[in-house]
Structure 1
Amino acid sequence: MVSRVWIGELTGASPATLARWYAQRHTQPVERRHPEIVVTVGTTHYFDQQAVESFWAAWQQDVGTGRLGAAGRKPGDGQGSYSADRSARDQAVGVALAALREEGGPRRGLAARLAREHGGVARSWQRAVAEARALYEAETSGAVGEGL
């Protein structure tokens, strides 16, 4: 019997990938299907070692080890948006920056107001206002900024 930790060491897969392999086992061909749990002790699941090794050999042959599968968030630009959406974010930051200039600085509820006026989700507008606020503060402090 082997645990998920052991399977992770064998395959090099992350805990999220191991959980996904098990959760989606019924969508895979039988030869590439993750083995079922044999026994649970406490909160640790154990699998038949031979079944795991057979599964991993079939996976390597059919899929390879270069891409174990994606789990978690997709990579973005570090600004809370995917690069394809960056132009939309820049436009929203521009709208938020114009509102900050018009109002003479940050005001409570600005993101919610912009969401109502321009559409979209308030949380996205909160991010845009945060970026715009940093630009606005750089402008008003006399620092030379990039502007939009």
Structure 2
Amino acid sequence: MAVEDERLRRVWEGRWVVSRAWIVGYTGAAESTVTRWYTERGRRPEHLRHPEAVCTVGRTVYFDQQAVEAFWTAWQQDVGTQRLGSGRRPGDGQGTRGGGPGREQRERAVAVALAALRRHGGPRRGLAAELAREHGGVARSWQRAVTEALATFESEQSQAGDGSS
């Protein structure tokens, strides 16, 4: 039988206590979320309040395991079911590259930027700012569209160069 890591879970005064790292693994919440639950416990209804700390060993804070499990059960019943984040829409972590309504807008911006690159024969300083003034939006978003369009433009240029040799 493996020895349990005492940084995660240990016996303190006859009861099991757990660290924030254990709570992260148990709930699936991010460490920042677990910390926020603890710091904002005074603003929550009592049944949804993160338990108080039981002890600190070194720099690790421990909470009563039964109280944490009861808190998590109440949180799931009130806020959602299963693990934290299960109700979030899946994504690839890459913004609008994964599809969805924002992707359509991005594709239009890339098409406009590609047309401008073709019209001017390639990239030029200030193109993103010019597109932002002409079509609305912020220059940084247009810069991303120009960068994405530039890959297509350069690919077209290299293919045209290969075909004319």
TM-score normalised by L of structure 2: 0.66
Matches within 5 A, 1:76-87: 78=94, 80=96, 83-87=100-104
Counterparts of 1:29 and 1:6, CA distance in 2: 24
Who is 1:29 aligned against? 45
Counterparts of 1:43 and 1:103, CA distance in 2: 60
Unaligned residue ranges in structure 1 (runs of 5+): 144-148
Q: Relative to 1, partners in 2 of residues 1:64 and 1:101: Cα closer, same or farther, differing over 3 Å?
A: closer
Who is 1:95 aligned against? 112
CA shift digits 1:33-89 (9 cap, x unpaired): 22234555665433333321321233355556524137x997268464562111211
Who is 1:129 aligned against? 146
Aligned counterpart in structure 2 of residue 66 of structure 1, from 82, 93, 102: 82
Unaligned residue ranges in structure 2 (runs of 5+): 1-16, 161-165
Q: Report the aligned-residue RMSD.
A: 3.2
SS in 1 for 2:159: coil
Q: Relative to 1, partners in 2 of residues 1:73 and 1:112: Cα closer, same or farther, differing over 3 Å?
A: farther
Please identify the structure whose Cα radius of gyration is greater. 2
Aligned counterpart in structure 2 of residue 13 of structure 1, from 17, 22, 29: 29
Identify, as 1 or 2, the structure richer in strand: 2
Counterparts of 1:116 and 1:26, CA distance in 2: 48
Q: Relative to 1, partners in 2 of residues 1:124 and 1:63: Cα closer, same or farther, differing over 3 Å?
A: same
Q: Which portions of structure 1, spanning 4 or more consecutive aligned residues, are displaced by more than 6 angstroms? A: none
Are the counterparts in 2 of residues 17 and 69 from structure 1 also a CA contact under 8 Å?
A: no
SS in 2 for 1:75: coil
- Relative contact order (alpha carbons < 8 A, sep ≥ 6): 1 or 2 greater? 1
Amino acid across the alignment from 2:31? P
Q: Relative to 1, partners in 2 of residues 1:42 and 1:111: Cα closer, same or farther, differing over 3 Å?
A: farther
Who is 2:20 aligned against? 4
Counterparts of 1:23 and 1:92, CA distance in 2: 43
